[in-house]
C-alpha cells in the first residue's frame, strides 16, 4: 500500500505544497534545500547483479558490477570474466556471453524469445571469488487492452493537459505482481517517482484488489510529470506524442524489491521529508557461496505485454 | 478478585478514619479567582500552626482536617494576592473563597503573600506547569500562540524538528504521551500536519506536563501526561476575547448563565487565508479548500454546595481539498461530562464520562467510476470514577477506577475501477482497558512527604473478527500468517494485566531546598504505528493483540530543588532520570502500515532506554523574567532486525538541548519577549555506497546501521514585542483591552537542517550513462518569518 499510495500522495504533495504556498504566503517559500558534501564512511565494494530478463524478442542482458562510494558519480566498475547461465526447470540452459565489459548477453535464436510462462529459472554466476545463485519464475501477464487519452483543463498547477491511461485487467486469482513501464516517444520514464508497480489491480498485498482493471493511480502513473525551466508543469503528452505501455509480470519478491527501492530513491525533499522513512537497505534474492563476498542486486524473469498509442488531439474530447 | 480486595481495603481504611474523626473538624471549600470565578488549580492552603496544609485539586477544592483550636490559614496562588484568615475551629466549616489577581486595587485586608514554593515543598517532581499568560507572551510560529510549542521550551521535551506533530518527553515517542483535554485523550494534537496545535489558547486554563513520578491516577501511556484543563467560563460577567493573527482568527465568548452558579465559554478559531485568497485567485474554485478550525465549548453548573457538573467539548478539523471530489481531512472530537460531588467535607468525588474520536478521510478519483475512498478512525468511550479522601493534613488518599472501550477502524476503504468496486476495508477491532488505583500523599514529620500508590490495569483484545498467528522468521523479515482464527462478538482474544507501582518522596532541606526521588512503572496498551520521520495524520492507532504485546516503562528519577531570592523569585531544579521500556514498536524495511490486514507481521518489537540530566531555572516576577532549561540526554532502542541487533539512537535523540525564554516588561505599554533554542543534531542514516539496478541508483549502507550520523546542530532565535492598547481614554479607564503582537520567527534566518537525504539528481537518467547522486539538506523553515496579530478583550 504505502509505496504507490505514497507516490500518489507525493505527486499530490507537489500540488498540496503549491497550494499551501499559494494560499499562505504567496511567493514566500518556507522550506529550502541545499546541496551538501558530507563525509561518508568508507566501505568495500560489493558484487552487484542486475539480472532482469524478459520474453521480449530482444537481447537479454545481465550486468555485473561493483558498488561504489555514494558520491562516486562515475560508471560502475564492471565485473569481467564471469560465467553466467540461466537454466529453466526443464533443464534448458541459456548461456550469457560477455559482449561488453560486465555486460553478459543472450540473443534470441531464430526469433524465439527467452523463456516460457510457468517455468522456473535458476541463475548461476561464477566468478573467481564465488558462485552466485538465484531463482525466479516467469509468471503470467495480462494484455494491455488499450490506451486512451483524456483532456483536463488548466488548473492552478497544470496547463491544459492530455493524460494517457492504459486499460488492462488484472488476472483473476490473488497474488499477481506487475511492473508497468511506460515510454514517451521511445524514452523510458525511469524517474524514481515513475516506478509503477501493482499487486493484483491495486497497490499492495494488504489492499486485496483482485481481478479488476488496474486502479486509477496505477493507470495514471504512466504519465510523465515534467517541469520546464521555469518549474512550470508541462502537459504529460502533446499532439503526435507516442506512449508505449509494457506490463511486466514480476515475482512477489521482486515486487517487494521495487517497492523498497522506490521508498529509498524516490525522495521528494521539502515538506515531504517530514514523512520520509529511514534509509535502509533493499533486499536481494541472490545468494553467494562465499560468506566473504556479499552480493546485492536482483534476478527476475518477466513475461511482457505491450501496447502503444499516438496522441491525436482531434480525437480527444475537450469538455 | 483484586478489585474486591481493593474495595475491602478502602472500606476498612474509611472505617478506621471515621472511627477517629470525632475530635477533629474539617475546613473545606473551593478557591476561585475573584475576577472571573474560575476555580484555581493548585492553590496552596497553608496553616501556620502546623506548618503544613493542602493544595487545591483540579476542581479548586481543598479540605483540611484539624483538632479544634484557632488557626491562621493562608491561601496563596501565583499571580494572586494571598489571603490570611484566622479560623476558630469548633465545628466543620465550609469556606469557599476568592483570591484577587495581583495588582488589582482593593480595600480588603491583604497579607504580604508568603512565598510560593510548591516546586520545592511539594512531593511531585518532573512536573512543569505553564500558565497561559507565559505561553501567550512567548514568541511563536506565525505569531500564533501555541500550547504544544511552548512546552517544548521545558527541559526533557524535544521534537524531531520544526513543523512536526507532537513532542517527545524524556526519550518517549510521540504516541507515548497521553494528551488530555478535560480528561479526554486527544489522539492527534496538530493542525496543518504539525505546524500548529489544536488547543485554542483562549479556552485553556491550566497546563501540566508530567514527565516522571507519574501519580497512580494516570495511566495508559509510558512517557508523559499532558493534562490540559479548559476554562470554565466567567461566572461573574460576560467577556469576549479574540484576535486576528497571521493564520487564525479567534473569538471566545464567556459569561454567566446564572451568576456565580453557571457559566459557559465558547471559543473558536479558523484559518482564514482561504477566505482572503478567494478574492485574489481562482485556486479555490472547483470546490478546492484549505482550512482548519476548532471549536471549544464548556459549561458548568453549581447545583449546590456539594454538586457541580461540567460539560465540555472540542471539535477540530483540517480540510484539504484539491477539488470537489478529491482531498483529505482529519480531526478530533471530544466530549467530557463530569460530576463533582462531595459525599462529605472530606470525600471528594469526580465522575467522568467521556468520548473521544480521531478520524481521517481521503478521497481520490475524478468520478464515481474510478475512485478511491478511505477513512479510518479510533473511538474511545470512558467511564471514570475518582475519589479523594482528605484524611488529615498528613494524609490525602486518592482512589478510583476507570473503564475504557476502544473501537479501532483501521480502514474503511473502497476502490472503484471503471465502475467495478472492491471493498478493501480492514475489519474493526475492539478492546477494553480497565484500571483501578489507590494512592496516598503522606507527610511524615517536618521534612518528609511521600506519595505512594498502585495502579492495576487490564486490557482485553476483543472480538469479533479474525485473528492471526504468524511464523517466526529471522527478525526483520515480513512474518506470514500461519493460522487464522475466528472470534465471536466480545470474545476475549487476548488479555493482558499489569501492576503499576508509583512512588515519590520529598525530603525537605534547610535553605529553601529539597531532594526528591521517584519511581514509576507504566503500561501502554495502544500503539501509534508510524514509520516516518515525523508522525502524520494518516498514522493509525492499533491495540495490543495476541501478536503485539503491551509496552511497559519504568522510570527512576532524582532531583534537587532550590529557590532563591525574596518571594522565591528564582526557582531552580536539577533532575536526573533513567528509563527503560519494553515492547517498543519498530518496523521491518518496507513495512506496509496503511490498509494492511496483516500489519502485525510487519512490526518488530524491541526495548528502549533513556537517561538524562535536566537543569531548569526560572525567574518569576520583576521586569525581566523567564526561564532557562538545559537537558543532556540519550535515547536508544534495541530491536532485533535493525542495526545488526545493536542499540541505536532514536530519530529524536538529542544530546544537548538548551532553551531560553526571556521577557522584558517596560514601565510603558511595550513588552518584549525572546525565545532561543540550541539543540544537538538529530541522528539519521547515511549510506556508504551506491549501486545500480535497471538504471536506478540505490543507496547502500554497507554496515547495515541505523541512525549512524548526526545532522548539524539546530539553533534559532525568535523575538516578539507586545504593544498594549491605552488603558485610559479621555481621562477614564477603558473598559476594553487590546494589544498588538509583532514577532519575528527565526530572526537570523538560519536554514536549520531538518534532514539530509540522498538521491540521484532530479533529471531523467539516460540508460548506460553515469548517474549523479547527491546529498541534500532540507530546512523546513529556511527563512525568517515576520508576523503580526491584533488581540482584544472586552
> By C-alpha distance, which of B318, B325, B425, B338 is closest to B385?
B338
Q: Can you give the pLDDT at residue B451?
A: 96
Binary contact (B536, A274; C-beta < 8 A): yes
The ipTM is 0.93
Residue B285 forms part of a structural domain: yes
- Per-residue pLDDT of B644-703, as tens digits, reads 999 999 999 999 999 999 999 999 899 999 999 999 999 999 999 999 999 899 999 999
In a domain, B776, yes or no: no
Instruction: Using pLDDT thresholds of 50, 70 and 90, give the confidence band for residue B132.
Output: confident
Cα dihedral across residues A11, A16, A18, A19: positive or negative: positive
Residue bearing the bigger pLDDT, B548 or B114: B548
Q: Which secondary-structure segment (H or E) carries B47? A: strand B44-47
Q: Are residues B578 and B603 in the same domain?
A: yes
Overall average pLDDT of the B490-504 stretch: 96
Beta-sheet pairing, A93-100 with A103-106: antiparallel
Q: Say which CATH number the domain at B167 has.
A: 2.170.130.10
Report how far residue B563's alpha carbon sits from residue B571's, in angstroms, rounded to the nearest whole number: 4
CB contact under 8 Å between A271 and B532, yes or no, is no
Nearest residue to B481 via CA among B495, B463, B466? B466
* Average pLDDT, integer, range B709-723: 94
The SS3 assignment for B251 reads strand
The closest CB to that of B758, out of A67, A70, A205, belongs to: A70
Number of Cβ within 10 Å of residue B74's Cβ equals 17
Mean pLDDT of A107-112: 92
Pairing between strand B696-700 and A295-302? unpaired
Report CA dihedral (B97, B101, B107, B110) to the nearest 10 degrees: 70
Return the C-alpha cell found at B251. Answer: 473569538
| Contact yes or no for B586/B593 (Cβ under 8 A) | no
Give the tens place of pLDDT for each residue, B386-443.
999 999 888 999 999 999 999 999 999 888 888 888 888 899 999 999 999 999 999 9
The model's pLDDT over B23-42, given as tens digits with 9 standing for 90+, comes to 789 999 999 999 889 999 88
Asked whether the predicted pLDDT for residue A102 surpasses 70, the reply is: yes
User: How many alpha carbons fall within 13 Å on the CB side of residue B434?
Assistant: 8
Residues 228-257 on B with a CB inside 8 Å of A are 247
Split at pLDDT 50, 70, 90, the class of B6 is very low
- In this complex, the residue of A42, A214, A264 whose CB is nearest that of residue B699 is A264
**∠ CA(B605), CA(B610), CA(B614), 5° rounding?**
155
Of A56-60, B21-25, B165-169, least confident by mean pLDDT is B21-25
For residue B371, the chain A residue with the least C-alpha distance is A216
Got the DSSP string for B514-536?
Answer: EEEEEEEEEEE-EEEE--SSS--
Same domain, B719 and B655: yes
pLDDT band at B282 (very low <50, low <70, confident <90, very high): low
- Band (A156; pLDDT cuts 50, 70, 90): low
With a cut of 90, say whether residue B53 has pLDDT above it.
no
Q: Say how many C-beta atoms besides its own lie within 10 A of residue B53's C-beta.
A: 20
With cut-offs at 50, 70 and 90, classify the pLDDT of residue A315: very high
Average per-residue pLDDT for chain A: 88
Phi, psi of B126 (to 5 degrees): 55, 30
Do residues B620 and B651 share a domain? yes
Per the CB < 8 A criterion, the answer to whether B171 and B159 are in contact is no
State yes or no: pLDDT of B364 exceeds 60. yes
Instruction: Determine the residue among B694, B716, B756 to mutate to test chain A binding: the one whose Cβ has the most chain A Cβ atoms within 10 Å.
Output: B694
Strands B97-99 and B25-33: parallel
Q: Which of the listed ranges A269-273, B191-195, B573-577, B649-653 does the model predict with the highest average pLDDT? A: B573-577
CA distances B54 to A98, B43, B64, B114, B341, Å, are: 87, 8, 7, 15, 19
In a domain, B447, yes or no: yes
Computed over every residue of chain B, the mean pLDDT equals: 89
B622 touches chain A (CB under 8 A): no
Confirm whether B751 is domain-assigned: no
More confident residue, B142 or A56: A56
Q: Which of B775, B772, B751, B704 is nearest to A39 (CA)?
A: B775
Q: Are B241 and B225 in contact (CB under 8 A)?
A: no
Contact A192, A262 (CB under 8 A): yes
**With bands split at pLDDT 50, 70 and 90, how would you rate the model's confidence at B144?**
confident
Residue B8 domain-assigned (yes or no) = yes
Of A145-149, B130-134, B435-439, B450-454, the least confident:
B130-134
Q: Cβ of A174 under 8 Å from any chain B Cβ?
A: no
Residues of B in contact with A298 (CB under 8 A): 693
Q: Which residue has the higher pLDDT, A298 or B731?
A: A298
Residues in chain A: 319
pLDDT 10s digits, A269-314: 777 787 788 899 999 999 999 999 999 999 999 999 999 999 999 9
CA distance B159 to chain A (A): 12
For residue B383, being part of any structural domain is answered with yes
pLDDT at B552: 97
Q: Give the pLDDT of residue B106.
A: 42
Give the CATH number for residue B53: 2.60.40.1120
Residue A228: all three cell numbers together = 520546464
B555 and B646 inside one domain: yes
Is the previous residue joined to B509 through a cis bond, with omega within 30 degrees of 0? no
Number of domains in chain B: 3
Task: Judge whether residue A10 has pLDDT over 60.
Answer: no
* DSSP letters for B609-662: EEEEEEEEEEE-SSSEEEEEEEEEEEEEEEETTSGGG--EE-TT--SEEEEEEE
- Domain interval for residue B70: 2-113
Among residues of chain B, what percentage have pLDDT more than 90? 62
Q: Are residues B221 and B233 in the same domain?
A: no
Here the contacts of B599-603 (C-beta below 8 Å, separation 24 or greater) are: B599/A206, B599/B410, B599/B529, B599/B542, B600/B468, B600/B470, B600/B479, B600/B545, B600/B547, B600/B548, B601/B468, B601/B470, B601/B478, B601/B479, B601/B480, B601/B481, B601/B547, B602/B478, B602/B479, B603/B529, B603/B547, B603/B548
Say yes or no for a CB contact (<8 Å) between A201 and B758: no
Q: Are residues B540 and B658 in the same domain?
A: yes
From A278-282, B92-96, B184-188, B733-737, the region with the lowest mean pLDDT: B733-737
Quick one: which of A209, A140, A252 has its CA closest to A1? A209
CA-wise closest residue to A245 among A308, A170, A293, A172: A308
Q: Are residues B465 and B512 in the same domain?
A: yes
CA gap B543, B742 in Å, rounded? 45
Distance CA B583, CA B524 (A): 10
Q: Kindly state the cell numbers that stand for B643.
A: 542495526
Q: Average pLDDT of B122-128? A: 90
Q: Based on the domain organization, do B506 and B608 belong to the same domain?
A: yes
> Residue B775 falls within a domain, yes or no?
no
How much is the pLDDT for B272?
A: 83
In angstroms, the CA B99 to CA B81 distance is 7
Q: Mean pLDDT, to the nearest integer, of B569-576?
A: 94
Q: Is residue B462 part of a domain?
A: yes
Task: Report which of residues A209 and B264 the model is more confident about.
Answer: B264
Contact B417 A267 (CB under 8 A): no
Average pLDDT over residues B183-197: 88
- Nearest CA-CA partner of A313 in A144, A164, A185: A164
- Distance from A134 to chain B by nearest Cα, in Å? 16
Each residue of B612-634: pLDDT tens digit?
A: 999 999 998 789 999 999 999 99
CB–CB of B590 and A259 under 8 A?
yes
Residues B238 and B214 grouped into a single domain: no
Examine the pLDDT at A242 and tell me if it is beyond 90: yes
Dihedral sign computed on CA atoms, order B115, B119, B123, B124: positive
Q: Is the pLDDT of residue B580 over 90?
A: yes
Residues of A (8-67) whose Cβ lies below 8 Å from B: 8, 12, 15-16, 19-20, 22-24, 28-38, 40-46, 48, 50, 52, 63, 65, 67
Domains and CATH numbers, chain A: 2-25+140-277+304-315 (no CATH), 47-139+281-301 (2.60.40)
- Helix (H/G/I), strand (E/B), else coil: A104: strand
* Mutation target vs A (from B275, B327, B699; most A CBs, 10 A cutoff): B699
Helix count and strand count (H, E) for chain B = 5, 53
pLDDT value at position B113?
Answer: 42
pLDDT-derived band at B734, boundaries 50, 70, 90:
confident
Give the span between the Cα atoms of B645 and A43, in whole angstroms.
Answer: 20
Boundary of a domain, candidates B79, B113, B147: B113
Q: Assess whether B192 and B239 both reside in one domain.
A: no
Residues 64-83 of A with CB under 8 A from B: 65, 67-76
Banded pLDDT at B105 (limits 50, 70, 90): very low
- What are B85's three cell numbers? 484568615
Instruction: Select from B227, B243, B258 the last residue of a domain.
Output: B227
Structure confidence by residue, pLDDT tens digits, A202-239: 887 766 788 999 988 888 889 987 888 887 788 999 99
Q: What is the CATH number of the domain that holds B506?
A: 2.40.170.20
Identify the domain boundary among B203, B227, B251: B227
Greatest mean pLDDT range, A194-198, B337-341, B775-779: B337-341
- Residue A135 and residue A51 in contact, taking contact as beta carbons nearer than 8 Å: no
pLDDT in tens, B206-253: 899 999 999 999 999 999 999 999 999 999 999 999 999 888 899 999
Do B456 and B570 lie in one domain? The reply is: yes
What are the chain B neighbours of A256 within 8 Å (beta carbons)? 478, 590
* Residues B260 and B283 placed together within one structural domain of the fold: yes
Amino acid at each position: 500500500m504505502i509505496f504507490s499510495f505514497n507516490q500518489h500522495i507525493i505527486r499530490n504533495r507537489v500540488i498540496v505544497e503549491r497550494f499551501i504556498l499559494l494560499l499562505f504566503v504567496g511567493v514566500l517559500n518556507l522550506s529550502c534545500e541545499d546541496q551538501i558534501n558530507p563525509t561518508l564512511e568508507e566501505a568495500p565494494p560489493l558484487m552487484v547483479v542486475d539480472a532482469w530478463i524478459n520474453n521480449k524478442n530482444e537481447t537479454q542482458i545481465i550486468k555485473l558490477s561493483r558498488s561504489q562510494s555514494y558520491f562516486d558519480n562515475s560508471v560502475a566498475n564492471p565485473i569481467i570474466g564471469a560465467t553466467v547461465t540461466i537454466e529453466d526447470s526443464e533443464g534448458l540452459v541459456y548461456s550469457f556471453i560477455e559482449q561488453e565489459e560486465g555486460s553478459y548477453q543472450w540473443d534470441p535464436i531464430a526469433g524465439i524469445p527467452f523463456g516460457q510462462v510457468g517455468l522456473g529459472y535458476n541463475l548461476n554466476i561464477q566468478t573467481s571469488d564465488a558462485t552466485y545463485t538465484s531463482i525466479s519464475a516467469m509468471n503470467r501477464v495480462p494484455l494491455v487492452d488499450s490506451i486512451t487519452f483524456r483532456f483536463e483543463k488548466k488548473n492552478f498547477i497544470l496547463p491544459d493537459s492530455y493524460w494517457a491511461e492504459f486499460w488492462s485487467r488484472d488476472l483473476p486469482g490473488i497474488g499477481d505482481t506487475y511492473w508497468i513501464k511506460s515510454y514517451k516517444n521511445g524514452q523510458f520514464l525511469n524517474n524514481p517517482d515513475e516506478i509503477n508497480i501493482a499487486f493484483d489491480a491495486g497497490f499492495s498485498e494488504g489492499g486485496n484488489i483482485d481481478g479488476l482493471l488496474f486502479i486509477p493511480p496505477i493507470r495514471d502513473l504512466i504519465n510523465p510529470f515534467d517541469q520546464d525551466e521555469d518549474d512550470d508543469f508541462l502537459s504529460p503528452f502533446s499532439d503526435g506524442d507516442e506512449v508505449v505501455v509494457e506490463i511486466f509480470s514480476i515475482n512477489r519478491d521482486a515486487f517487494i524489491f521495487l517497492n523498497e527501492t522506490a521508498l529509498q530513491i524516490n525522495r521528494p525533499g521539502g515538506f515531504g521529508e517530514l514523512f520520509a522513512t529511514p534509509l535502509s537497505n533493499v533486499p536481494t534474492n541472490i545468494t553467494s557461496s562465499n560468506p566473504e563476498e556479499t552480493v546485492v542486486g536482483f534476478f527476475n524473469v518477466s513475461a511482457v505485454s505491450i501496447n502503444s498509442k499516438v496522441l491525436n488531439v482531434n480525437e480527444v474530447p475537450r469538455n | 478478585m483484586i478489585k474486591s480486595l481493593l474495595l475491602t481495603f478502602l472500606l476498612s481504611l474509611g472505617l478506621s478514619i471515621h472511627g477517629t474523626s470525632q475530635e477533629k473538624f474539617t475546613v473545606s471549600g473551593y478557591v476561585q479567582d475573584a475576577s472571573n470565578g474560575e476555580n484555581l488549580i493548585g492553590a496552596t492552603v497553608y496553616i501556620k500552626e502546623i506548618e503544613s496544609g493542602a493544595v487545591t485539586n483540579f476542581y479548586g477544592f481543598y479540605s483540611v482536617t484539624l483538632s479544634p483550636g484557632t488557626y491562621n490559614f493562608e491561601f496563596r496562588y501565583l499571580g494572586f494576592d494571598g489571603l490570611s484568615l484566622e479560623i476558630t475551629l469548633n465545628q466543620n466549616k465550609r469556606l469557599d473563597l476568592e483570591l484577587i489577581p495581583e495588582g488589582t486595587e482593593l480595600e480588603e485586608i491583604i497579607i504580604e503573600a508568603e512565598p510560593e514554593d510548591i516546586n520545592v515543598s511539594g512531593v511531585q517532581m518532573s512536573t512543569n506547569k505553564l500558565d497561559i499568560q507565559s505561553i501567550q507572551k512567548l514568541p511563536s510560529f506565525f505569531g500564533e500562540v501555541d500550547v504544544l510549542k511552548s512546552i517544548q521550551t521545558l527541559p526533557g521535551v524535544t521534537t524531531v524538528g520544526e513543523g512536526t506533530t507532537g513532542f517527545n518527553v524524556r526519550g518517549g515517542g510521540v504516541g507515548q504521551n497521553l494528551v488530555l483535554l478535560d480528561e479526554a485523550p486527544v489522539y492527534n494534537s496538530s493542525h496543518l500536519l504539525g505546524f500548529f496545535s489544536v488547543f485554542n489558547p483562549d479556552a485553556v486554563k491550566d497546563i501540566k506536563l508530567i514527565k516522571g513520578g507519574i501519580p497512580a491516577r494516570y495511566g495508559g501511556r509510558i512517557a508523559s501526561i499532558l493534562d490540559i484543563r479548559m476554562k470554565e467560563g466567567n461566572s461573574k460577567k460576560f467577556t469576549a476575547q479574540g484576535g486576528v493573527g497571521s493564520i487564525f482568527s479567534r473569538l471566545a465568548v464567556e459569561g454567566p448563565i446564572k451568576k456565580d452558579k453557571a457559566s459557559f465559554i465558547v471559543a473558536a478559531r479558523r484559518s482564514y487565508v482561504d477566505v482572503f485568497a478567494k478574492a485574489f485567485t481562482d485556486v479555490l474554485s472547483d470546490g478546492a479548500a484549505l482550512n482548519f478550525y476548532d471549536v471549544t465549548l464548556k459549561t458548568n453548573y453549581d447545583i449546590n454546595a456539594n454538586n457541580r457538573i461540567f460539560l465540555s467539548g472540542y471539535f477540530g478539523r483540517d480540510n484539504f481539498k484539491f477539488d470537489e471530489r478529491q482531498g483529505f481531512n482529519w480531526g478530533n472530537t471530544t466530549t467530557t461530562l463530569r460530576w463533582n460531588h462531595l459525599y462529605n467535607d472530606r470525600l471528594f468525588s469526580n465522575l467522568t464520562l467521556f468520548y473521544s474520536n480521531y478520524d481521517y478521510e481521503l478521497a481520490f478519483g475524478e468520478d464515481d467510476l474510478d475512485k478511491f475512498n478511505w477513512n479510518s478512525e479510533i473511538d474511545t468511550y470512558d467511564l471514570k470514577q475518582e475519589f479523594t479522601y482528605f484524611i488529615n493534613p498528613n494524609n490525602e488518599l486518592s482512589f478510583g477506577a476507570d473503564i475504557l472501550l476502544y473501537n479501532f477502524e483501521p480502514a474503511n476503504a473502497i476502490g472503484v475501477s471503471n465502475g467495478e468496486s472492491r471493498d478493501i476495508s480492514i475489519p474493526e477491532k475492539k478492546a477494553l482497558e480497565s484500571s483501578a488505583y489507590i494512592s496516598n500523599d503522606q507527610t511524615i514529620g517536618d521534612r518528609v512527604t511521600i506519595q505512594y500508590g498502585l495502579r492495576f490495569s487490564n486490557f482485553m483484545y476483543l472480538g469479533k473478527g479474525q485473528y492471526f498467528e504468524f511464523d517466526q522468521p529471522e527478525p526483520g523479515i515480513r512474518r506470514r500468517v500461519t493460522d487464522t482464527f475466528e472470534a465471536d462478538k466480545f470474545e476475549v482474544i487476548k488479555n493482558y494485566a499489569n501492576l503499576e507501582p508509583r512512588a515519590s518522596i520529598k525530603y525537605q532541606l534547610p535553605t529553601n531546598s529539597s531532594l526528591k526521588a521517584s519511581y514509576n512503572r507504566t503500561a501502554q496498551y495502544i500503539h501509534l504505528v508510524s514509520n516516518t520521520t515525523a508522525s502524520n495524520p494518516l498514522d493509525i492507532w492499533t491495540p495490543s493483540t495476541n501478536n503485539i504485546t503491551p509496552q511497559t516503562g519504568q522510570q527512576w528519577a532524582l532531583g534537587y530543588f532550590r529557590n532563591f531570592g525574596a518571594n522565591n523569585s528564582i526557582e531552580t531544579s536539577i533532575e536526573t532520570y533513567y528509563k527503560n521500556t519494553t515492547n517498543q514498536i519498530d518496523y521491518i524495511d518496507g513495512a506496509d502500515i496503511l490498509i494492511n490486514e496483516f500489519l502485525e507481521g510487519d512490526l518488530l518489537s524491541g526495548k528502549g532506554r533513556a537517561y538524562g540530566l535536566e537543569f531548569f531555572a526560572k525567574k518569576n516576577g520583576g521586569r525581566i523574567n523567564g526561564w532557562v532549561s538545559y537537558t543532556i540526554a540519550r535515547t536508544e532502542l534495541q530491536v532485533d532486525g535493525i542495526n545488526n541487533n545493536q542499540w541505536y539512537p532514536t530519530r529524536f535523540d538529542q544530546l544537548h538541548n538548551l532553551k531560553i525564554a526571556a521577557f522584558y516588561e517596560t514601565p510603558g505599554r511595550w513588552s518584549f519577549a525572546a525565545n532561543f533554542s540550541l539543540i544537538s543534531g538529530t541522528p539519521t542514516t547515511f549510506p556508504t555506497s551506491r549501486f545500480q539496478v535497471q538504471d536506478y541508483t540505490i543507496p547502500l549502507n554497507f554496515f547495515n546501521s541505523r541512525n549512524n550520523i548526526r545532522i548539524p546542530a539546530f539553533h534559532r532565535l525568535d523575538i516578539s514585542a507586545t504593544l498594549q492598547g491605552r488603558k485610559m481614554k479621555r481621562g477614564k479607564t477603558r473598559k476594553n483591552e487590546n494589544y498588538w503582537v509583532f514577532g519575528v520567527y527565526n530572526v537570523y534566518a538560519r536554514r536549520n537542517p531538518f534532514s539530509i537525504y540522498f538521491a540521484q539528481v532530479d533529471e531523467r537518467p539516460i540508460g548506460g550513462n553515469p548517474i549523479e547522486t547527491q546529498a541534500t539538506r532540507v530546512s523546513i523553515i529556511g527563512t525568517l518569518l515576520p508576523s503580526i496579530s491584533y488581540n482584544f478583550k472586552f
